[in-house]
Structure 1
Amino acid sequence: MEAFQYPFAIALAPALALLVVTLMLVSARRRARRLARMGDAEVVGRLVPPSAKRKPVVRAAALGLSAAFAGIAFAGPQWGIERSIVRSSGADIVLALDASLSMLATDERPSRLARMKQEARRLIAASTGDRFGLIAFAGRSYILTPITADRSALSLFLENLDPSVVGQAGSSLARTIRQGTELLMLSKSGSDRALVIMADGEVFEEQEEVIVAARKANEAGVAIVLVGFGTSAGSTIPVPSEEGSTRKRDENGVVVITRYNEPLMRAVAEAAKGSFIPATATDKASRVRRALATLRRVERSTDTGPNRRPRFQLFVIPALLLAMLDTLLAERRGRRRKAPAAATAAAAALLLTLITTTAGAAPTGEGDRLFRQKKYREAAAAYQAAIRNGDTSAVTLYNFGTALLAAGNADAAVTALERAGTSRDLEVRFRALFNLGLVYLEKGRATQAEAAQQAYASAVESYKRALRVRPASVDAKWNYELANQRKKDQSGGGGGGGGGSGNESEPQPAPSGEKQAPEERPSGALDPRQAEQILNSAAREERDVQGKKQKQNQPNRPPGGKDW
């Protein structure tokens, strides 16, 4: 674990001590010269107090030591681990969001898709104790995230949701209901389960097939809420093109008019004995919350992970005591010393306030501010400047690597995340290794053959190391199984679920190319059957932090020909 929050600031301790001692000795020498110029030394000695003629060696040492303690406190010493538990209660909810081309229609402003994403964000923000999973669907459905409490991941995928995500044009509601039900069945939290479907209801499959899927979901104990978007009058579909924007046409060249299908959505809700919120309703997120109010929620305890315990107080206290001691001794030297003594006391109080405020607060900095504004390239440059100025702490390296990753510069992010992944701070190490796994998953997608296999192997190793730090992390387990499966696919090992062959305990190539000894599965990990269910049910892509790859997918035409 890092010994100091600001390792680069530890040099302040000897520098401050040396500065204080030097200033006091220089001041004493100047005072001696002034006294010498006043006249005969014996006469002057009778006129000034004895303390004015003595060298302030003891006082300089005491105040120098006080300054050294203050410098150490400013560097933020920390050791020991403390953990905090956050308790909340909630249900498990899967949000199935329509990402078909028809959602680009503008009969709702600015578009059906934008309004749907807005309501989804409001629902997630209002459901503080609930866990959410995200499914995007069009001609087929895609699991974007497992059921998680990670709001930042949910927000990221919502931001990048568009028709290019799914890769299969058209619209299939029955598949979505089946996959949402399967995903909810994997949750063993003990709370009630709900599937919230936000769509325009324009599907190109038999209504009976959708109703059968809804009834089966109800029999499985899943509460279904359908939320409509669009208008019955309909609208054309704007499609981006090289010329700007054109209107969607069918295979015969006729301009497509997409219409909101309320009867179908209402029939599905009735078959599932669920709730239906029409497109004309206002404040849809609040209505969904009311529809889910009867769900049974269980209390959860979330471990926020190990945190470093600040110890700056152990150095502030002696620094303050030494300064106060100098004040008391100065008062005994005579009334003429009261003003300097008061100044020393005021400086000590100011020092205490400054150190307490600085060491007790988390650093924000220019890089943090830019990252929050989603200016990832500028944030990476700011973190890099801090590193060049001597701040090589694991937190800064992690922030630098994550900013590079978010900016799309995955190759450059590897070095910083690798260094942060060796930190003794368990929280920083886990996050760095998790993001490092994302980098290698991204490389695996972008390459082929042997290069892809090596990238997936490195991703497996990164997530394995992350799971050693936090064995109970659902997201790390998920990505570990996914990377393992992709690695097997590249090596021709078949399409079975991750871990299904029992090879997870075999040694995996480390990013450096070295071999490491086999290790047992971390406690609490997914068993092969669960991993196979997840992979086969999800058919999901790995978490794409930047969302850029989502924009590059070209949706395939559905078998029925209708691709909106």
Structure 2
Amino acid sequence: MTDLRLFIDAFHFIRPAWLVLVPVIVVIWFFVRRRATRPAMELEGIAAHLRRALTVGGGKRRLVLPIDGAALALVLAALGAAGPTWSRVPDPFVAQTAPLVIVLKVTSSMEQEDLAPSRLERSKQKIRDLLELRAGGRTALIAYAGTAHSVVPMTEDPNVVQPYLEGLSPEVMPEDGDDAAAALELAQNDLAKENAPGGILFVTDAIETVDVSAIDAVEEASIAVLAMLPGGTNDRGIDSLGISVVRATPDDGDVRTLDRQLNAAYQRALTEEGTQPWDDRGWILGWPAALLALLWFRRGWTMRWSLFLALSMGIMPPAPAQAEGIADWFFTPDQQGRIAYQRKHFDQAAELFVDPIWKGEALSRDGQYSEAAKVLARLDTADAAFREGLAHVKGREYREGIAAFEEALKRDPDYPGAAENLETAKQILDYVETAREQSDTGEESGEGADDVVFDNEDARGADTQIQGADEEGGLLTAEQWMNTVDTDPGDFLRQRFAIEAARGQ
């Protein structure tokens, strides 16, 4: 679905009763203009040369009359008062971009240098550009060759994806091949866990024809392909797909196109099923109406009903913040903060916002979880306590998060999501404490490396240091490779993929 189609489907007026004024204004304009343009009556008894000398403006006729400007300004004011809208006010607690699973092909064919520096490196550049464009959007990364593997699960932080993306190369894949169907299945499993419709993006230089039907059959998610092929090069499988295929371009035009296409279904869901109020865009029409009103200062354009127009303009909804520099003259701090928030300048927005809910959300989106929790803790509503709990959990302060969720349920036992998040936070804390207990014997085995710090207020287990075991040959166990995350990402992924492939066999 295109942006234009979504705009057409969602467009409506919030206060349609004001539209009744439009035909009234048109009728008044018609009769007033007709009267103004009626030929002047011939005055008998006055000589023609005297009549011409005594007539002002009789030799020319203006195409635009004062009634035209006044009527147009009134129509604009009426349309603005009706509240045209085509989208909802963004929810500060809901990402405005769709969940996305990026599926990257990592094979020897992707190392060809016909797309400098190579198809694979160019693919990584495109993925980084997409992550930057989707700042704050939930994104997962899957790599595939002969087998498919989840590299990074759904995350809102692009910095988590970067090191693992750099570590991907054909050498880390257990088997060579092109099993796009297996990667598609993994991607669908990731999206099934999300609460909103998402998209799948294949970044590849080829699709096996046997996998074309499986990809085309996907209905529950938007799906697209970024073809990493130089100009003049085609692939039979990619050309056979019935979905959106975008070829890699030297600039970021391909990435922006894909982002719009994959985000369309999500935006429709937010518009149709969202609970946020509709975003009143009537202020847009207020500016041209105000400019037309300036014509009244010209001699001969002042009309007796200008007061009515001025009153109409006065009842129009106020315009949202759109200024910088001298913004303090016209807009409140919260309006200025809204501008910075929409531009994804979350640190600046946090400084500008006065409203504690918006301020807490901006701090959280900027990664300042502890500060966000402190701001939200000042409020005594269930919603604030729930948001405080989310901030604590994101900051790995699980015990504080549990207390905040319990407080939210105390204030409103039926608050949506509070009970579920409370149970999840308890499970995470129990897992952390259990991991500490199981690591008690690590000191005696000669292990020692990076410190691992856990929340341990319950004094379960002892403080230890963890490092992967040094084994000759064979595969590391899942617990052992989890302890080697401080190594090179490529080595880490090689070990992990090998374990997953062995288990699959």
What TM-score range do you get, normalising by the shorter chain?
A: 0.3 to 0.5
The two structures have a TM-score, normalised by structure 1, of 0.36
More strand by share: 1
